[in-house]
Amino acid sequence: MKVHNLDDISTAKSAIEQKLKQQETVVDVLDTRAVMESILSAFDSIKTFTASIGRISLTVAGMSIFNVMMMSVTER
């Protein structure tokens, strides 16, 4: 089911659940906002992890370049 206004999702969900409760079959009604929020939180975690790995890599590379430059200056 599609809703034109995002604010109407909870109202539509509760109306569908009420209608389906009258029947004897058990049906779960899912709200796509909850799924979307979990996907976005997973992507945020991945983004934070890759950013921290990038920072560590740049720091190690910077220290290595600094070390090589200092060694070449002291050898002269």
Cα–Cα distance measured from residue 43 to residue 39, given in angstroms and rounded to the nearest whole number:
6
Residue 26 reports pLDDT greater than 80: no
What confidence tens digit (pLDDT) does each residue in 29-70 have? 777 777 888 999 999 999 999 999 999 999 999 999 999 999
Phi, psi of 41 (to 5 degrees): -70, -35
- pTM (global) more than 0.95: no
Q: What are phi and psi of 20, to 5 degrees?
A: -75, -20
Residue 26 phi, psi dihedral angles, 5° rounding: -95, 125
Compare 61 and 1 and report the one with higher pLDDT: 61
Domain segments of the chain as ranges: 1-29, 31-76
